[in-house]
Chain A
Amino acid sequence: RKEVEQDPGPFNVPEGATVAFNCTYSNSASQSFFWYRQDCRKEPKLLMSVYSSGNEDGRFTAQLNRASQYISLLIRDSKLSDSATYLCVVILHTGFQKLVFGTGTRLLVSP
């Protein structure tokens, strides 16, 4: 089983739609969680951290479910510019941090 798993997609949605991605992780000792965004042929960039109580940043909402070991990302009112690959990142803090990336979920927003 992979350490961090995501549905690769692609998720094809029209502009204005709401879309949600899930990410599951296998190591219950994981302590920090993030969503990164990667545009085609670009480097990954931090989208948002994921806090235990859930957090929101504009149209983006992140949730963490430690019991079931998954995190989610909800995007409301999708824009064309949201088209990208969304990478789930899980951090193990064993001495030094080890970041493990999911395989990414591709989102395509169409007009």
Chain B
Amino acid sequence: DTAVSQTPKYLVTQMGNDKSIKCEQNLGHDTMYWYKQDSKKFLKIMFSYNNKELIINETVPNRFSPKSPDKAHLNLHINSLELGDSAVYFCASSQDVPGRALSGANVLTFGAGSRLTVL
């Protein structure tokens, strides 16, 4: 069983379209994330949710809207896609304990990534 699964794995679309990427984790973790890895391989956090509540929202255009229907799912919807949105989007989860640094608890488990290409 895949711990963190995201779909689709590949997505090729035209500029201006709207697309979604879905993510599910079966680890029982409370916190889920979306990261973007650009062509220079820099991995940057976009959003983080804890128990369905948005806790981290980095400087990301409003065209990106995350949704967490329950703590095991975190989806990413992107409106009006632009060329610069082409990247690999990674979903991740962790068992975070607010305000405490627990050894091993804050390890991230990543999904396999969704490679988005905007033409």
Chain A contact residues, CB within 8 Å of chain B: 31-32, 34, 36, 38, 42-46, 49, 85, 87, 89, 91, 93, 95-101, 103-104
Evaluate contact between A96 and B55: CB separation under 8 angstroms: yes
B45 near A97 with CB under 8 A, answer no
Q: Quick one: which of B42, B100, B104 contacts A93, CB cutoff 8 A? A: B100
Which of B35, B43, B101 lies at the interface centre, i.e. has the most chain A CB atoms within 10 A of its CB?
Answer: B43
Name B98's contact: one of A42, A85, A95 (CB within 8 Å). A95
Report Cα–Cα, A42/B40, bound state, in Å. Answer: 15
Q: Can you give 18 contacting A-B residue pairs, CB < 8 Å?
A: A32-B101, A32-B103, A38-B41, A42-B113, A44-B43, A44-B90, A46-B108, A49-B104, A93-B99, A96-B55, A96-B56, A96-B98, A96-B99, A97-B94, A98-B45, A98-B48, A101-B42, A101-B45
- Collect the chain A residues with CB atoms within 8 Å of residue B20's CB: none
Residue with the highest number of chain A CB atoms closer than 10 Å, among B33, B40, B107, B112: B107
Given A43-B113, A103-B41, check contact A31 B101 (CB 8 Å): yes
Q: What's the nearest-Cβ distance from chain A to residue B90, in Å?
A: 6
User: Count the B residues whose beta carbon is within 8 Å of the partner chain — how many?
Assistant: 29
Q: Could you tell me the distance in whole angstroms from the C-beta of B83 to the nearest C-beta in chain A?
A: 21
Say if the beta carbon of B85 comes within 8 Å of chain A: no
Contact for A43 among B42, B50, B111, CB less than 8 A: B111
Which 8 A-B residue pairings sit nearest by Cβ, starting from the closest? Answer: A43-B110, A101-B43, A96-B55, A31-B101, A93-B101, A97-B106, A103-B42, A32-B101
Query: Closest CB-CB distance, A30 to chain B, in whole Å?
Result: 10
The reply on B44 being an interface residue by CB < 8 A is yes
Partner of A98, one of B42, B56, B103, B112: B56
